[in-house]
Structure 1
Amino acid sequence: MPITPSSQAPGALNAAATAACLPWDALADEIATLLLDTTVSVPARTVLPLPQGGNLFVMPANDSRVAMAKLITLTPANTGTGRPAIQGDVVVFDVATGERRLVLDGPTITARRTAAASLLAARHLARDRQGPLLIVGAGVQGLAHLEAFVLGLGVRDVWVASRGAAGAEALVRRAHALGVQARTVADADAALPHCPLIAVCTPAHSVVLSAPPRPDAFVAAVGAFTPAMAELAPAFCRHVAAHGHIVVDSEDARHEAGDLLQAGLDVGTLPTLRDVLQGERAPPAGPVLFKSCGWAGWDLAAARLAMRLGMGAAPPGQPAPPPQATP
């Protein structure tokens, strides 16, 4: 007997409505607030390998009022097919009543909370906030970091390095639409001496940065989230460790940060973003690397903000644009 899909559940927000209730500055502020909230509980995420090379991620978290679970698939084989690499939802519950309150678009949450965490780190650790900003990788995370750093940090000049020319040009056009200067560059390493801000947003299938960054650089690296993945060369990571400062997004990164683990660094001794917010600061000189592997706490922060701003969002039945997220 054929199954007829039901209509969209009440409280379900599509990609556009999900993005609308997660403004960049407000989301970065919510992440900062969450990191200092002692009621927050974030179990380790479960990653289930799928037969065709994909993965199923199950990521729960809660505080004293809100519980959420992110359930998404990551299917690298979808790249170039028109199907999104990440698909799924974030389901948000009221702790007191157990009621489901919202269903948010999983890829949109993933893109925006990742870039918002980088924005928060840059607020505290970047010495030069004007740029130029070098974005390596022109996929969804590249777009999210462009918007977060332009709209949240005030960047006015953007350079884009990507192996796909069409994607790089599209990101440049988006930067122009935001009112900032932008250009493509052929060699990311050659651009490093000119860019105090760098966002590395690739699928982390291979190393994309090898040359050392400039002494005042802030680097956000978000593509690698397993010990086997890396987008930064070991020498790059060791240079920052020796001459500057490395911060990881959460304690979980200590066993997930492939860039750092493959460089032979003792990741367990590195400060987290929470440590930075609690008073630890970067040294007065030297580059800073913010290594992000993703954490369900960021999703909980997005869910908390959406609970405040999203309950009155646009009606859920309207068509959504293609989901905008990659790892």
Structure 2
Amino acid sequence: MQIVDAQGVNRVLQQAGWPALLAALRQGFAAARAADLPQRQLYGLPPHQGQENDCFAVLPAWNEEGMAVKAFTHMPQNSKAGYPLLHSQVLLFARAHGQPLALLDGASVTLWRTAAVSALAAQLLARPQRRRMLLLGTGRLAAPLVCAHLASAQLEQVWIWGRDPAKAQAAVQAARAAAARLDLPQPVAQIDVLQEELAPAVAAADLVVCATAAPAPLVSGLWLHAGSHLDLLGNHAPNQRECDSSAVTRSQVWVDSKKNVLAEAGEILLPCQEGVFAPHMIAGELSDLCSLRASPRESGAQERPTLFKSVGAALADLLTAQFIHRHL
């Protein structure tokens, strides 16, 4: 069995490139329905030495090629003690005889697959001629998200927003450095800190990506235009959300996994509780999108914003781990 640490995961995926990873995810999601896989399991842990809201999670998935399980811990107060917020490992098995193939660093796998799923959903749902991206969030996902979208669209402008100006500037610098290493057929987009208010920036953007821990809505549906694509991936809590209910009711809504979203995502659950949305109004899952021969985006007078909500599908972890293993 091979052990692949974070450095190894990053080396393999940087050499392979974002387009190859996105293509592998699209093919894998089209072949294996997330609806046929079990719901990911999050377990709240009892308070320990003054720490609260800690959790332990297990995400199993399988396809014709193999099986994987990702386990992770999420401890919000870790930063105070100098530890990362999240620790994770992915164990990959072969399907034919069940032997373990590799143990991979789960935190780096999660960064790559989350950014790749975001870009893949935008490929399938956003307007092909999207040029302006607004990213809300300044954490470790910021640079991978920018790079994944730069590699899948001819973006001309990327704005990064955060409540802390210093963190926003640091995220911009990291994104610029990572983007400069991409092999792109077009010039790298201008990447800047957003200096204006969110409302006009959302209205001006073709693509809005939310990767925050905000407990209350940051994006209003009133700010979206018909050609907007809104990607929500930061929140996993049923009582919190990154957008308001109008963003959901005005949009064509897609999700990575209905089972997981309807158990965890306040963006969908809260409008359902308010009586303005219902689970049957979800257009479909990422696996459905990947199986379509044409874009489901409406056109002309019928065009609406598109919205993609992701809480993290174990199938994406499996496919990314298998992709890495094939390229070792």
- Mark yes or no: TM-score above 0.5: yes
Q: Which residue in 1 is equivalent to 2:316?
A: 298
Q: CA distance change for structure 1 residues 268 and 76 in 2, over 3 Å: closer, same or farther?
A: farther
1:236-251 alignment, distance < 5 Å: 236-240=247-251, 245-251=252-258
- Pick aligned residue for 2:224 from 213, 231, 234: 213
- Pick aligned residue for 2:307 from 276, 289, 292: 289
Moved more, 119-128 or 34-43: 34-43
Q: Does 1:228 align with 2:239?
A: yes
Q: Deviations over 1:54-103 (max 9, x none)?
A: 11011111122311110101112224654221112001112223322111
Q: CA distance change for structure 1 residues 38 and 201 in 2, over 3 Å: closer, same or farther?
A: closer
Structure 2: gaps spanning 5 or more residues: 47-51, 180-187
Moved more, 217-226 or 276-285: 276-285
Contact 1:128 1:196 in 2 (8 A): no
1:30-41 alignment, distance < 5 Å: 30-38=24-32
Give the drift of 1:174: 2.7
Q: Which residue in 2 is equivalent to 1:48?
A: 43
Contact 2:239 2:266 in 1 (8 A): yes
Contact 1:143 1:171 in 2 (8 A): yes
Name the TM-score, length of structure 2 as normaliser: 0.84
Q: Which residue in 1 is equivalent to 2:190?
A: 181
Which structure has more relative contact order (CA 8 Å, sep 6+)? It is: 1
Q: Does 1:98 align with 2:98?
A: yes
**Letter of the structure 2 residue corresponding to residue 194 of structure 1:** A
**Letter of the structure 2 residue corresponding to residue 239 of structure 1:** R
Q: Deviations over 1:78-136 (max 9, x none)?
A: 24654221112001112223322111111111111111111111111111544211000
Q: Does 1:256 align with 2:268?
A: no
> Following the alignment from structure 1 to structure 2, what is the Cα–Cα distance between the partners of residues 170 and 228?
30
Q: Which residue in 2 is equivalent to 1:69?
A: 69
Q: Does 1:273 align with 2:281?
A: no
Name the TM-score, length of structure 1 as normaliser: 0.84
Moved more, 34-43 or 85-94: 34-43
Give the percent of matched residue pairs that are identical in Structure 1 and Structure 2. 27
> Following the alignment from structure 1 to structure 2, what is the Cα–Cα distance between the partners of residues 80 and 206?
24
Provide the alpha-carbon RMSD of the alignment: 2.1
Q: CA distance change for structure 1 residues 173 and 39 in 2, over 3 Å: closer, same or farther?
A: closer
Q: CA distance change for structure 1 residues 156 and 39 in 2, over 3 Å: closer, same or farther?
A: closer
**Letter of the structure 2 residue corresponding to residue 277 of structure 1:** C
What secondary structure sits across from 2:4 in the alignment?
coil
> Following the alignment from structure 2 to structure 1, what is the Cα–Cα distance between the partners of residues 235 and 225?
22
